[in-house]
Amino acid sequence: MVFTGRRYDTGDRVDYLKAVIRLACERPDIGAELYPWLEEYVSSGGPKAEPGL
Task: Give just the sign of the alpha carbon dihedral 45, 49, 50, 53.
Answer: positive
pLDDT tens per residue, range 10-40: 888 988 999 999 999 999 999 999 999 999 9
Task: Give the list of residues 6+ apart from residue 21 with CB closer than 8 angstroms, or none.
Answer: 34, 38
Q: Give yes or no for a contact between 38 and 45, defined as CB atoms under 8 angstroms apart.
A: no
Task: Give the list of residues 6+ apart from residue 25 with CB closer than 8 angstroms, or none.
Answer: 31, 34, 35, 38
- Entry pTM: 0.66
The yes-or-no verdict on residue 45 having pLDDT over 90 is no
